[in-house]
Amino acid sequence: MKRLLLGTAALVGLANASTAADLYTKARPAPAPAMSPPFSWTGFYIGPNIGADWEYFDITDTLTGDSFGSGTRNALIGGGQVGFNYQVNPFFVLGVEGFFDGVANNNAGTGVVVPGIGLVTASVQPDWISTLSGRIGFTGPALDHWLFYVKGGGGWIQASATINTPFASFSESRTIGGWMGGGGIEWAFAPNWTARIDYQYIGLESATVAPGFLVDTFTTTNANVQTLTVGINYLFNWGMTAPIVSRY
C-alpha cells in the first residue's frame, strides 16, 4: 500500500511540473514582426525622359513695329536628367539636378507684309532645352517611397531664328538663357528604380537678331518654354537607409 501511495504521489508531481512548464512556455510574449528599413533617397541618379514642350516667342520688327507673334506651339521632346539627392531627415530631401532634352520641331513662321519689301516671315525654332536646378523634396515615414518636390534655377535653349523675305533669307542660331521654376512627383517602385513626372517653366531673356540684308533688327520678347515629361531614374543609393523614426 505504501508503494502504491508513493507511486501515485510521484505521478502527480510529474504532472504538475509538466503543467507548470506548459504555462511558462505559453506565457512568453510573441516576437515583434520584422520591419523593412525605410527607403532612402540619398545618392546619385540618372535616367531618360520623354514628353512635350510648349513654346511662346513674340518676334517684333524694331523698325516698323510689326509683330510676328507666333502664339503657343508644342513639340515632342526627349532626353534625360542626372542629379544627386541628400535625405536630411525622414521628411526632407535636398538635391541638385541637370536636365537636357532635344526638341523635334518644324514650326512655320508668321508672315507680315512690310511696305517696300513685301511678305516677310519670322520664326524661332528651339533645338534643345537645358536646365540646372536645386530641388527640395518632401517625403515621410508612411510615404517613404514617394517624393514630392519643387525646384528652381536657370534654363537655356539653343534656338534658330529665321527671317525670310522675297529676295533673301537669314538664319542665326544662338543660346538664350533665363530663369526656371517647376516641380514634380517621384515614386520608388524598386530598390534602385524610380519613376517620375516633371514640369518646368523657363522664362527667357530678350534676344535680337540683325539680318545683314535689312536695315532693321528683330527682337524676341516675352519668350518662354514649358516642359512636361515622364521618366525613370536609376538611383545609386548603395544600400543606404533613411533616418529611422517610429511609425507608431
Per-residue pLDDT, 95? 97
Q: CB of 114 within 8 A of CB of 90?
A: no
User: Does the pLDDT at position 23 exceed 50?
Assistant: no
Residue 45 forms beta bridges with which residues? Answer: 83, 235
* 11-15, 191-195, 223-227, range with the lowest pLDDT: 11-15
Cα 41 to its chain centre, rounded Å, is: 14
Band of pLDDT at residue 164, cut at 50, 70 and 90: confident
Residue 129 has pLDDT above 80, yes or no: yes
Amino acid at 57: F
pLDDT at 62 over 50: yes
pLDDT of residue 72: 73
Rounded to an integer, what distance in angstroms lies between the CA atom of residue 128 and that of residue 102?
A: 4
Average pLDDT over the chain reads 81
Residue 30 confidence (pLDDT) above 70? no
The three three-digit cell numbers of residue 11, written as one number = 505521478
**Higher-pLDDT residue of 56, 170:** 56
Residue 247: the pLDDT is 45
The answer on pLDDT for 28 being more than 70 is no
Question: Is a pLDDT exceeding 80 seen at residue 104?
Answer: yes
Q: Which of 130-134, 150-154, 158-162, 239-243 has the lowest mean pLDDT?
A: 239-243
| Domains in the chain: ranges and CATH | 40-236 (2.40.160.20)
Angle at 168 between CA 160 and CA 161, to 5 degrees: 10
Select from 190, 186, 192 the least CA-distant residue to 234.
192
Percent of the chain with pLDDT over 90: 46
What is the pLDDT, as a whole number, of residue 49? Answer: 98
pLDDT of 135 higher than 50:
yes
Could you tell me the three cell numbers for 100?
Answer: 537636357
Contact (CB, 8 A) for 174 and 218: no
* 63 secondary structure, DSSP code: T
